[in-house]
């Protein structure tokens, strides 16, 4: 791409594509493959964010591209959700049901994680007849109205208040306050690892006790695995670490293999409430689009066939071991890793910003979290090779060392 075309494209982007910050990264992407992106100037970047966890098996994986091409030869959208039998949708739903613990067996597909959260909240109210919800400090579940209501950051909540009523926010990873979870609460929603809050990893006892409490009072437990699911955290499902089975699990990001796809999944009994009193209690036009489901199934088979959660666990230990040596050196305060979901906490926000900028200058794409401007998050593809891992660690070590000595 010529420099004139690149500049024109960037100018039109800033003018006509709604901007959500004053300083977007503005990288003009020319192409992507595997763990790499190339910009319009031909420079390549090692993508350590994978589209915030979307490209879990890398960009443009051959299996995903093949599945998309094949499905394009048959049909695209044919009817609103749930009316036509579409083979890619059925196949992906059945495969997910086979990989999840019983009784999670009925899948409702959406276009995104936030939409899946909305559907799960509605389903919980419908199934229980209750009105209240419990969420946790630091939580992020999306930016639609209901999802934002069970988020916990006042910076993002307050401009849009009043939000949904009857939301109780409890401290994350602490057992006090569970008496607020009573017979009036429809559902508790929780992330097994809080990604946007800075990769906050709870103790196993927290989720176990939470599950026991919800069971005791008949409250549904919604586990939001939009970011953590599908191998990201060293298990196929992050909630496996605590040996809990939620009533509803929410998926997205990596689920579509690079195409838009989300889902909430529950038991037959819970999910059946959406088909009665009234029928069509929850509808969507494009949820479970056949292209997205075909891509998602191909991606899922790669994750399962190659047991990529095991590679994520090993790679996560590599990253943590390499970066831990900078903790206490003046810049890095802590390193937290749940598989290949990694948070690098700095002592000050300006150090985090400098780290991101200097990594970019070295061809490494990393980014901040929404809720803690001192934390840099990594979510690289689960297929990251040995050489790519060494490239990433070498560049980040160089930047961290300079920050520490500065």
Same-domain check for residues 38 and 111: no
Same-domain check for residues 275 and 301: yes
- The distance in angstroms from the start CA to the end CA of the chain is 38
Residues 6+ apart with CB under 8 A from 233: 192, 193, 241, 309, 312, 338, 339, 340, 341
Rama region for 356: left / alpha / beta (φ>0; ψ in -120 to 50; rest): alpha
Q: According to the 3-state scheme, what is the secondary structure of 292-328?
A: HHHHHHHHHHHHHHCCHHHHHHHHHHHHHHHHHCCEC
Which of these, 369, 370, 383, lies nearest to 254 by C-alpha position? 383
Average pLDDT over residues 192-203: 96
Residues 6+ apart with CB under 8 A from 307: none
Residue 263 falls inside a structural domain: yes
Most distant CA atoms of the chain, gap in Å? 65
Residues 186 and 125: beta-carbon distance below 8 Å: yes
pLDDT at 25: 84
Going by DSSP bridges, is the β-strand pair 262-266/341-346 parallel, antiparallel, or unpaired?
Answer: unpaired
| Domain membership of residue 52 as a residue range | 3-60+307-405
- The answer to which of 56-60, 250-254, 330-334 has the lowest mean pLDDT is 330-334
CA gap 280, 81 in Å, rounded: 10
Same-domain check for residues 51 and 139: no
Residue 406: which pLDDT band, with cuts at 50, 70 and 90? low
Average pLDDT over residues 340-344: 98
- Token representation of residue 401: 């060392």
pLDDT at 204: 84
Same-domain check for residues 332 and 219: no
**Exposure on the CB side of residue 375, measured as CA atoms within 13 A:** 21
Q: At 116, which CATH number?
A: 3.40.640.10
Q: What single-letter DSSP state applies at residue 101? A: P
Q: Where a domain ends, among 285, 305, 325?
A: 305
Average pLDDT over residues 17-38: 91
CA gap 300, 70 in Å, rounded: 17
Same-domain check for residues 311 and 294: no
Query: CA-CA-CA-CA torsion for 116, 122, 128, 134, nearest 10 degrees?
Result: 70
Which of these, 240, 257, 253, 347, lies nearest to 302 by C-alpha position? 257
Residue 24: which pLDDT band, with cuts at 50, 70 and 90? confident
Same-domain check for residues 247 and 359: no
| pTM for the structure as a whole | 0.96
Residue 97 falls inside a structural domain: yes
Residue 344: which pLDDT band, with cuts at 50, 70 and 90? very high
How far CA 75 is from CA of 93, 166, 311, in Å, comes to 19, 44, 35
CA gap 377, 107 in Å, rounded: 30
Q: What is the mean pLDDT of the chain?
A: 95
Average pLDDT over residues 126-139: 97
Q: Where a domain ends, among 249, 270, 305?
A: 305
CA gap 377, 290 in Å, rounded: 32
Please count the structural domains in the chain.
Answer: 2
Q: Using the predicted structure, report yes or no on whether residue 278 has a pLDDT greater than 80.
A: yes
Same-domain check for residues 181 and 219: yes
Residues 6+ apart with CB under 8 A from 116: 108, 110, 226, 250, 251, 252, 262, 263, 264
Same-domain check for residues 377 and 327: yes
Looking up tokens 């009036």 gives 184
Q: According to the 3-state scheme, what is the secondary structure of 143-193?
A: CCHHHHHCCCCHHHHHHHCCCCCCEEEECCCCCCCHHHCCCCEEEEEECCC
Which phi and psi (to 5°) does residue 84 adopt? -105, 150
Average pLDDT over residues 223-232: 98
CA gap 257, 234 in Å, rounded: 18
Residue 38: which pLDDT band, with cuts at 50, 70 and 90? very high
366 exposure class (CB count in 10 Å sphere: 0-12, 13-18, 19+):
buried
Average pLDDT over residues 153-161: 92
Same-domain check for residues 170 and 54: no
Q: Where are the alpha helices (DSSP H) in 76-135?
A: 87-99, 113-128
Q: Using the predicted structure, report yes or no on whether residue 54 has a pLDDT greater than 90.
A: yes
Which of these, 92, 140, 98, 95, lies nearest to 287 by C-alpha position? 92
pLDDT at 1: 73
Residues 200 and 335: beta-carbon distance below 8 Å: no
Residue 206: which pLDDT band, with cuts at 50, 70 and 90? very high
Q: Return the percent helix, strand and coil in the chain, to nearest 5.
A: 40, 20, 40
pLDDT at 405: 66
Residue 202 falls inside a structural domain: yes
């Amino acid at each position: 791409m010529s420099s004139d075309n690149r500049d024109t494209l960037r100018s039109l982007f800033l003018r006509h594509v709604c901007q959500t910050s004053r300083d977007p990264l503005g990288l003009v992407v020319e192409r992507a493959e595997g763990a790499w992106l190339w910009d319009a100037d031909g420079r390549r970047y090692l993508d350590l964010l994978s589209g915030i966890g979307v490209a879990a098996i890398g960009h443009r994986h051959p299996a995903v591209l093949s599945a998309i091409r094949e499905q394009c030869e048959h049909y695209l959208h044919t009817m609103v959700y749930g009316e036509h039998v579409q083979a890619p949708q059925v196949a992906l739903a059945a495969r997910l049901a086979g990989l999840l613990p019983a009784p999670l067996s009925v899948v409702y597909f959406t276009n995104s994680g936030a939409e899946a959260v909305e559907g799960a909240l509605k389903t919980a109210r419908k199934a229980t007849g209750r009105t209240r919800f419990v969420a946790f400090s630091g939580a992020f579940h999306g930016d639609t109205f209901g999802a934002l209501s069970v988020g916990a950051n006042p910076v993002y909540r307050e401009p849009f208040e009043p939000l949904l009523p009857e939301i109780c926010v409890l401290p994350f990873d602490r057992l006090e306050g569970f008496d607020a979870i009573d017979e009036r609460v429809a559902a508790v929603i929780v992330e097994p690892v809080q990604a946007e809050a800075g990769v906050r990893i709870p103790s196993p006892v927290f989720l176990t006790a939470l599950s026991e409490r919800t069971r005791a009072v008949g409250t549904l437990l919604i586990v939001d695995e939009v970011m953590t699911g599908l191998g990201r955290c060293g298990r196929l499902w992050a909630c496996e670490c605590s040996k809990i089975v939620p009533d509803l699990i929410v998926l997205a990001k990596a689920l579509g293999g690079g195409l838009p796809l989300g889902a909430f999944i529950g038991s037959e009994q819970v999910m059946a409430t959406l088909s009665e009193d009234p029928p069509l209690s929850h509808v969507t036009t494009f949820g479970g689009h056949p292209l997205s489901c075909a891509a998602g199934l191909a991606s899922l088979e790669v994750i399962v066939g190659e047991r990529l959660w095991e590679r994520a666990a090993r790679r996560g230990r590599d990253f943590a071991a390499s970066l831990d040596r900078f903790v206490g050196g003046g810049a890095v305060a802590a390193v937290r890793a749940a598989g290949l979901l990694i948070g690098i906490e700095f002592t000050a926000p300006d150090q985090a910003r400098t780290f991101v900028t200097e990594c970019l200058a070295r061809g490494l794409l990393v980014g901040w979290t929404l809720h803690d401007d001192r934390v840099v998050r990594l979510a690289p593809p689960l297929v990251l090779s040995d050489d790519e891992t060494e490239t990433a660690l070498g560049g980040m070590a160089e930047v961290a060392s300079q920050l520490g000595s500065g």
